[in-house]
Amino acid sequence: MERVCEEYNKWSGEKPQCSPVTCNKPSSIGNGWLTPDQQSYNYNSTIKLACFAGYEVRDGKMIGTCLEYGNWSLEPLQCVRIICNDTNSVRHEYIDAYPNVAFNEVENVTYNSSFFHLLNGSAEVYCSEDRKLSWLNSPEFGTLYVCFVALYMYILLQL
């Protein structure tokens, strides 16, 4: 605001008023909560975003600061589902494809069923919060060739 000294030593315009800078509570906080949780925050205040189990802060930015113009240093604050991307513990030579599995979910892996079949366990994997896929029940695969040979032997022995 600009004021000019006018004649008779009077200032133009209205007397300036100073008011504290505040930031409103961010509007959309999906799958998480703020600490501290308030309706408004003073200039230079910080907030921390925490996510529900199975979610993480997008881009890893968890702390926001109320800036001088009443906006936040980080927005939008958002928690997104954790997707498992570590397949090391479920690696198997017969597996063709691993699904994108979200935290606490179970999905089937795709294996080459033209040549192999599941003897024991299951072809299901689950996602843990540490981003690792793990077997629900460790599978044991067999080749169809071995099954055909065993069946053939069984038939021969029955004759």
Domain boundary among 52, 81, 110: 81
Domain CATH number, residue 36: 2.10.70.10
Clarify whether residues 67 and 92 are in a common domain: no
In tens, the pLDDT along 99-151 reads 888 888 888 887 766 667 777 778 888 888 788 888 888 877 777 555 555 55
Interior CA angle at 55 toward 53 and 61, to 5°? Answer: 125
Count of structural domains within the chain: 2
pTM check: above 0.75? no
147 or 20: which leads in pLDDT: 20
Burial of 64 (0-12, 13-18, 19+ CB in 10 A): buried
From 2-11, 14-23, 57-66, the region with the lowest mean pLDDT: 57-66
By residue range, what is the domain housing residue 108?
A: 88-158
Residue 74 has pLDDT above 70, yes or no: yes
Longest dimension (CA), the chain: 127
Average confidence score pLDDT of the chain: 81
